[in-house]
Amino acid sequence: MSHPFMRPLLATEHTEYDEGAERLAIALAGRCGLDLRVVIPVVSNPEYETIAPLLAAQIEHEAAIKLRAIRARGEEAGLTLETVARRGEEPWREIVAEAQLCGADLLITRRRGRRGVLANLLVGEMVSKVAAHAPCSVLMVPRTARLWSKRVLAAVDGSAVSASVGRAAAGIAAACGVPVSLLAVLSDERDDERARLQATLDQVRAWMVRDHPGLEVNAEWLMGRAHEVILAQARASGADLIVMGRRGETALERELLGRTAERVTGLTEGAVLLVRYGSHIDQNPRSSVW
């Protein structure tokens, strides 16, 4: 069965904080027969290399060691990984540039990095910028997360991105043989809002079942604050992957991860997939009926 993402890119610095992302990316590639590309960002600039050539050489040496270690990890799983180091002043820009260059449709990265001044952030600063500017969907993975094996929770909100979320969640669940919980969160009790969300749930569920016969999908809407409801339902249902939408339609939306997405990503124990609206998932022969 075809996987909804065929060109995954793993972005890692091969630190302890990247352990979950590396483990999950390799497991996903092996499980679904995907070619996995890996990028390591290396902080560098011409002035730095001129002033401190020995230190720059040491950094290059360490990057080469990390690339070899990642390739070896892939070989242990029976995979041949394509690896590259990109050099620049801002790691997030290099990661985004590599995703654009290789035509990645899924970028896999860690949730947070080293502890420090920004340790109180739910999602690391670099990762937030990657998620905001990536040209594709982004999968953010905590250190302890593993490839999902229980349930996928897909959160929709009635906007245009809901169709993209439904496609991605259904495709992933079908490929991995797990059920889907489709969830919409109602923020107020207006009849028109409730009717709109119910219509979205009914339509998206119908599409998911149509395109993936035999896929188990249950759908419901609940009242409350979006991130609290999503997190509670993920725990109650045992979901180990949450799928949400990522619009990026305006400059502000592209710059900010979004309050609900940040809270869900930062507080859940599993991976969170932010599906980019207008991505390849929406550009298929059946898109006109979604």
pLDDT tens per residue across all 290 residues of the chain: 467 899 999 999 999 999 999 999 999 999 999 999 999 999 877 666 677 677 778 888 898 999 999 999 999 999 999 999 999 989 999 999 999 999 999 999 999 765 443 444 567 788 888 988 999 999 999 999 999 999 999 999 888 889 999 999 999 999 999 999 999 998 777 778 888 889 999 999 999 999 999 999 999 999 999 999 999 999 999 999 999 997 544 444 444 467 788 889 889 999 999 998 765 555 443 332 22
Closest CA to 16 of 147, 85, 93, 112: 112
Under DSSP, the state recorded for 287 is G
Structural tokens at position 108: 């896999």
Under DSSP, the state recorded for 9 is E
Task: Return the pLDDT at 152.
Answer: 98
Task: Return the pLDDT at 49.
Answer: 64
Task: Give the predicted TM-score (pTM) of the model.
Answer: 0.88
Closest CA to 264 of 225, 220, 219: 225
3-state secondary structure 20-82: HHHHHHHHHHHHHCCCCEEEEEEECCHHHHHHCHHHHHHHHHHHHHHHHHHHHHHHHCCCCCE
Q: Which residue shows structure tokens 């290789």?
A: 102
Q: Which domains does the chain have, with CATH numbers?
A: 8-141 (3.40.50.620), 152-289 (3.40.50.620)
How many alpha carbons fall within 13 Å on the CB side of residue 235?
Answer: 9
Q: Which residue shows structure tokens 């593993």?
A: 146
Contact 37, 84 (CB under 8 A): yes
d(CA 80, CA 34): 10
Structural tokens at position 250: 């305006």
